[in-house]
Homo-oligomer: A and B are copies of this chain.
Amino acid sequence: MQTERRRQLSTAEERRETVLRTAIGAFAARGYFGTTTTEVARAAGISQAYVYRLFPSKESLFVAVVEHCFVQVRASLELAAAEAKGSSAEVVLHAMGESYARLISDNDLMLIQLHAQAAAVSEPAVREAVRQGYARLVEYVRGASGGEERQVQEFFATGMLCHLLVSMDADAVDAPWTRTLSAGITHY
């Protein structure tokens, strides 16, 4: 049974990935300022002190989380685009919307985007991450869909409307105004 005993410790790189994944849930509720590093640590199952071994500061951790989310969103859109390849811009954009809706069905991804936007106002590092994230997203959607400016713009405007619906849990309100805002928007 040579090396039967398994490693008990993770490598730092594995831990960083764990933290990135679990921190999404932690930051999703209360955003950058409202979430403590202790909460992030608890979500990852490590001590608060160790968070500071893996990331130099709370800000750099949050930035890494935001970047991680943008990568996931992009990957989701790429998947959809690959499946709908060769179709018209409308069809590709619709497939992207569907894929996006499925990706963020647990809402956390979307809430991170919302909180990243909010933090971007005062935190330059976050602002830069958000800019880069949307820059790549917009260019990708434009290229992959082949749609016109207006269509691409509307695609993102609809995404932003989703942020609003999720943030105030519009699903839980049964009224004409929520039906107006959420008309035609898929969600799971």
Contact = CB atoms under 8 A, between A and B. Distances in A.
Contacts of A117: 114, 118, 163-164, 167-168
Q: Is the interface of A mostly helix, strand, loop or mixed?
A: helix
Given A29-B122, A173-B131, A156 B164 contact: yes
Interface residues of A, number: 49
Given A118-B167, A163-B117, A134 B181 contact: yes
A169 interface: yes
Interface in A122-168: 122, 127, 130-131, 134-135, 138-139, 142, 149-150, 152-154, 156-158, 160-161, 163-164, 167-168
B149 A157 contact: no
A164 B118 CA distance: 9
- Copies held by the complex: 2
Nearest to A131: B168
Interface string A171-182: 001011101110
A15 B162 CA distance: 37
Contact of A33 (B30, B167, B169, B180): B30
